[in-house]
Amino acid sequence: MSESSNASVVLSDPGRGPSARSEQVSRPRSRFFAVGVGPVARKEFADHLSGLRFGILLVLIAVTTLAAVYAASSAIRAAASDSAKVEFAFLYLFTVSGESLPSFTSFITFLAPLLGIALGFDALNSERSQGTLSRLISQPIHRDAVLQGKFLAGLGVVSLALTALVIIVGGIGIVLLGTTPSLEEVGRLIAFIVVTVIYVAFWLALAQLFSVLFKQAATSALASIAVWLFFAIFASLIVGLIVNAVAPAGDNATNAELLRNAQLETTLNRFSPGTLYDEATTVLLNPSVRSLGVLVYEQIDRAVVGPLSFGQSLLLCWPQILALVGCVLVFFTVSYILFMREEIRA
């Protein structure tokens, strides 16, 4: 029996007083998730794991990232031979670049958005085009449970895939380095997984928003990929043109002009989610990074050289993490409002 039918039975029970009736009416309002989120999320989670699309993308990301680790094997072995003198040598697996391929984190920054786009671009419009959306919301569940369940299922699949990938790379690192990661390195890797899930959630929420806006799944997929390509390729070019026009710094530029040029470039680049993610992961996986902004000589003169603790690194990249979370909430809220106002007919 559904919750609505249970509530009707309680309200019609003459043996209960007004206080009991008001308690039964107000109890569903205290739920954090809408009624039906669990069944929708479980169904979508199973569909994603058994789908061919997710398998192809997961193999693509796994092969490229493992190839990056293999390409950096010479640098990793050099670090292993000197592991007694190098702190956090285990984290080199995720940050060291090979001669022909970028690092593990560089591949994740570039390819992980595809995973979020693939899981969200047809979340709603496929149900609409197949005529199953009206039958889905006619079930004894709330309408917003459909949107929340699909989003949570995508997050669950992304979390599972990224955790498995990091564990596999960590196992390779144990074989190559001959040492196990320290407790702080494990904490940094867990934080790295969480930040990566948030980063992919940004693209999942964006793709899900396009699935609400556009009726055709192909249109929402093209729009999502266009945004991804813009930030991955064209955003840096546009930022360079704007910086050179607003704060030019030629060969004879003064220190003040150079500083203004660098600060403006850093500020504009941070409008890209890839830049925010790259800065956050750089701090988490490289404890020697002490600042993410533009530094002048007076700020680094006589500074104590040494790695930051995990807590200090987390505080340093906390603004970038909050910015990514805020973008996820904005896109999900907009898609939520549009979906709740949409008229759905059989």
The answer to whether position 5 is within a domain reads no
CB contact at 8 A, 152 and 37:
yes
Is 122 inside any structural domain? yes
pTM of this prediction exceeds 0.95 = no
Residue 22 lies in a domain: no
DSSP code for 342 = -
**Mean pLDDT score, 206-232:** 91
Confidence of residue 302 (pLDDT cuts 50, 70, 90): low
Q: Shortest CA distance to 165 belongs to which of 102, 80, 107, 241?
A: 107
- Whether 13 shows a pLDDT value over 80: the answer reads no
Full residue range of the structural domain in which residue 75 is found: 31-297+304-341
In 10 A of CB 76, how many CB atoms?
23
Q: Which of 119, 115, 141 is nearest to 40 (CA)?
A: 141
What is the pLDDT at residue 164? Answer: 87
Calpha distance 98→176 (Å, rounded): 15
Task: Quote the pLDDT of residue 71.
Answer: 65
What is the rounded distance in angstroms from the CA atom of residue 276 to the CA atom of residue 323? 8
Average confidence (pLDDT) over 183-196: 92
Assign 11 a pLDDT band (cuts: 50, 70, 90): very low
Question: 92 to each of 80, 151, 173, 298, how far by Cα in Å?
Answer: 10, 33, 9, 30
Residue 235 counted as domain residue = yes
Structural domain contains residue 346: no
Most confident of 28-42, 132-146, 216-230: 216-230
Q: How far apart are the first and last CA of the chain?
A: 25
Q: Is residue 9 part of a domain?
A: no
Task: Give the CA dihedral 119, 125, 130, 131, nearest 10 degrees.
Answer: 130
In tens, the pLDDT along 103-162 reads 888 888 888 899 899 888 888 887 777 777 777 777 777 888 888 889 999 999 999 989
pLDDT-derived band of residue 14, with 50, 70 and 90 as boundaries?
A: very low
Query: What confidence tier does 12 reach under pLDDT thresholds 50, 70, 90?
Result: very low
Query: In the predicted model, is pLDDT for residue 53 greater than 60?
Result: yes
Distance of alpha carbon 79 from alpha carbon 75, whole angstroms:
6
Q: What is the pLDDT confidence band of residue 6, given thresholds at 50, 70 and 90? A: very low
Burial (CB < 10 A; 0-12, 13-18, 19+), residue 35, is: middle
pLDDT for the residue numbered 272: 92
Please state, in angstroms and rounded to a whole number, the distance separating the CA atoms of residues 346 and 329: 30
Q: Is residue 87 part of a domain?
A: yes
Residue 113 lies in a domain: yes
The Cβ of residue 158 has, within 10 Å, a number of other Cβ atoms equal to 25
pLDDT, residue 329, reads 95
Q: Please give the tally of structural domains in the chain.
A: 1
